[in-house]
Each structure stands twice: as structure tokens, then as C-alpha cells.
Chain A
Amino acid sequence: MTILSSKRQKRKSGEEHLQRIIEMCKSVEERGLDPFLIDVNDVITIIREYFPEWQSLEEFNLDAEAINRLASVIKLQSDWVRHRSTSLYTDPFLLEEKLRKLSRESLARLFLHAWHPIVEMEQISPHSLSEAIKYWQGLLPLNERWTKTAFMKTELGAASREELIKQRIIAEKAFTEELETLWRELRQKVGENEKIPYWNFVGADTYEETVRRAYMTSFLVTYGYATFEVHRLEEEIFIIPFSKPRSLLGKKQVVSIPVSVSVEEWRRWKESKRD
């Protein structure tokens, strides 16, 4: 019992130690303190000492975070050494003293020797000026432009079925009727073979018709008139029609199969058909 409680105590104090290490490293990183304030060897000894005690995922996470923070401090230390070895290194305190002592005039005069301002022109060129004139001439007055963007008032009313067919919002044939026609066609095309390659069924003379057939075929599968057989390695998809519609919803886990029906795929299929 005593051993257990002393172990627990050790883990608790270890957690506190790690928290303190993380906070210390964080403040060095964020507040730009001297990274050599942290004795890396000491910190590693502490992390190593408590490592065998860790059991839970949270404790291992804390341990990993402490190591990660320590690595950032080591990077800062290495940057510091590199900066000191460059010609730009100056003792910040010494430089600060010099900046405080020098007058504004001396500072400005001195800066002018090291300052080489960018030379740039923002002047308009004859070419852009003529382009601007052309644009201005073609620009409609504001009152005319604003009339164009104004909303048009229209009377509310119901659209007739004929109008919807005309606008291709709904099809002339009822959807189910069309679906069943396609199902019959599928069974007819499959014949005794049981299945048919996907493209051989959906492929049509025009791309638009192919897309329409692919769209309807997706409903054949969703509504249980047919199913897909996917050969992933060969990248082949077959359609297998059912003799009676089966509803798989709720009985089996339903998966979505994305099938690309791009113009390129359609052209490739057409060419292969021609060959």
C-alpha cells in the first residue's frame, strides 16, 4: 500500500516537473529570453528519471511535449551560437548604450550612409493613358449601369407540366416508367451472360446521352433493379440485373460507388468500340 502511494506521489511530482519544464521552455521561446537560461543536461536528466514511471497516455503526451519544447530551445541555442559567429553580432547591451548616447542628428546622418532607398516610378505611361481613355469612353453613365443591375418584378404563378418539360426540368416520361424501360433493356442486353461491362451499357453515341444513361443506371442500382460488380485490380465495373427489384435498404450495408463519366472516358470507350 505504501509502495503504491509513494509511486503515485512520484508520478504526480514528475508531472509537475514536466509542466514546469514546458512552461520554462515556452517562455524562452515566446518572450525571447536567453535560451542558455535552460540547462539542457539537467532537463534531460529529469525527463529520463521520470520516464519509467509513466503509464497513461496523458503522461506520455506530457513527456513528448517536454522533449519537443526542449528541442525548440536547443534550436534557439544553436541559432544564438550561429548569430554570434557572424559579422552582424554585436553585444545588444553595448549597442543599446550607443543608441542611447548618440544624438538624433548623428543617428540619422549615420543611417543615411547605410540606407539605399528603392527607386521606383508610379508615373502613368502614354499607353496606359490611352487605354484609360478608351475605357472611360466606353463606360456607361452610372444611372444606366444601375438600371441594368436592378431587380425585375415578375408576377408569381405556377408553372405547368408542359413548361417544365420544355425547360427540361422534368422528363416527358414518368421517372419510374423510364427506369423500368432501362431495366428491361439491361436484361435484354445481358441475355444469358449474367452481367455486362458498365461502359458497354451506359455508353451511347453522344456524350449527353451517355451521361443520362449513367444517371439512370445509378438509380437502377440504388432502387434494387441491378447491382454492380467491381473488379478493383482490373478497374472494371459490371452491371448485373436482377430478375425482380430487391430493396437492399436496411438489410445490407449500402455503399456508394463513384464512377467517373468524363468526356475523355467516353471518347476512350468510343475508340475502343471502333477498334
Chain B
Amino acid sequence: MKRKALYLRKLKRATHLLFYRRHRKPGVKGWELRKRLGSDYPKVLGLLDTYLEKLDLQVKTVFEGEKPAEKPTLEQLDRARFYITLRGGLTPKETKMSGWRIDDIAGLAIAISYIISKKGKASREEVEELLRNKLPGWRVDINMDRYIRAGYLAQDENRQLYLDWRTRAEVDEKALIDLLLTVEKTEEEKAA
């Protein structure tokens, strides 16, 4: 009973830490969670994740660098960043909640998938050229800056674009590419 009460307390604390933004960026670092919840914080996060499943939410772990192939070590977890994200996807009607127009979302999808296909780095000019295909020219530059400000993309001094922290936290890159490749097949099939 004592043990259960202890974990309930830790669950509450983890919920507060993860839901309320405490820094400039949302999310909490693993070492911060260890400091506040104790060394068994991965277990607490596991419990929270199970609980959140019913609400279509999840605890998302974003590792520094590539995702470890095997079970992550405590050190890797300490350096990782944890967020609460939607578990499932949004429906088109729900996109209004995000405050983004359909054009903005399409543009973001293009920019992210293009950068992924270019091994995570592409020049801004190339991406903008691709976006101009779908969006009016005057919106392209505004949208690109918006994606950068929101943390989806990062740009270096040579105007090279990379995927930034928010993309790593929110976008399932593999699913996006798979969907892109299969959706066209379906459309082609429909057209046939």
C-alpha cells in the first residue's frame, strides 16, 4: 500500500513536470526527472504512459542523436528529452485546434519529407522552390520562417535546413515517408 502511494505521488509530480512548460522549450530532460522523481523515473514514466493511453496521449522520448537500437541505457535516458504528445493523429477537422491552415500543414509536410529524403539536410532555396509549386510565392518565405520559429526546422549560416527539435518530438518520420510512398499508389490505383 505504501509503495502504491509512493508511485501515485511520483505519477502526479511527473504529470506536473511534463504538462506544464517550465523552460523556453517544452519537455523535460531525463536528468531533471531523475532529480525530481528519483532514479526509478523510467518506471514512473512507463506507468504514466500506460495511464495516458486511455486519453490518446503518450510520453514521447527523444534521444540525443539517433534512437538507440537496443534498450536505452540510463545515461542515454538522462540525456534524452521527454514530452507528452498525442498518441494518435489529428483528424482534418481537429487541425483547427492547432491554429495552422491546411496550406501551412501541407507546406510543413513537404519541407520535412524533402529534408528527410536528402539525408536530413537541404538548402532553403531547394525547399522553397518545391513549396512554390503548391503555395503562393509570398507565403513561402513567411511559412519557412514560421516553421523555423516553431522549432520544426533549423537553418545554418549557409541557409542549409535541418530537422529541428519539434519535428523529432512530434513527427514520426518513418511513418510520414511510408505514407507518402503508399498514398500515391492508392491514388494511382483509384485513377486506374
Contact = CB atoms under 8 A, between A and B. Distances in A.
Contact of A99 (B110, B171, B175): B110
Interface string B172-184: 1111110111011
A104 interface: yes
B177 A119 contact: no
Contacts of A114: 89, 171-173, 175-176, 179
B19 interface: yes
A118 B84 contact: yes
Contacts of B113: 95, 99
Contacts of B106: 104-105, 107-108, 111
B102 A116 contact: no
A79 B119 contact: yes
B60 interface: yes
Nearest to B95: A112
Given A88-B116, A114-B171, A32 B57 contact: no
Contacts of B58: 116
- Most A C-beta atoms less than 10 A away, residue of B92, B113, B135, B158: B113
A168 B183 CA distance: 84
Contact of B170 (A90, A99, A117): A117
Contacts of A95: 113-114, 117, 177, 180-181
Interface in A79-109: 79-80, 83, 87-88, 90-92, 95-96, 98-102, 104-109
Contacts of B183: 102, 106, 110
A87 B174 contact: yes
Interface residues of B, number: 59
A122 interface: yes
B138 interface: no
Contacts of A80: 119
Contact of A119 (B57, B158, B175, B176): B57
A102 B116 CA distance: 17
Contacts of B175: 113-114
B130 A109 contact: no
A108 B92 contact: yes
Interface in B6-60: 19-21, 26-27, 57-58, 60
Contact of B26 (A102, A108, A120): A120
B79 interface: no
A80 B117 CA distance: 11
Interface in B91-106: 91-92, 95, 98, 102-103, 105-106
B169 interface: yes
Interface string A16-50: 00000000000000111000000000000000000
Given A79-B119, A90-B117, A99-B113, 8 more contacts: A96-B130, A102-B187, A105-B106, A106-B183, A111-B106, A114-B179, A116-B171, A118-B169
13 contacts: A32-B121, A88-B177, A95-B113, A95-B177, A96-B114, A102-B183, A108-B103, A108-B106, A113-B89, A115-B172, A116-B60, A117-B98, A118-B169
Interface of B: 19-21, 26-27, 57-58, 60, 83-92, 95, 98, 102-103, 105-106, 108-110, 112-114, 116-119, 121-123, 130, 133-135, 158, 160, 166, 169-177, 179-181, 183-184, 187
A-B interface, 7 closest residue pairs, ranked by CB to CB distance from nearest: A111-B109, A114-B176, A104-B106, A107-B106, A108-B105, A95-B117, A114-B175
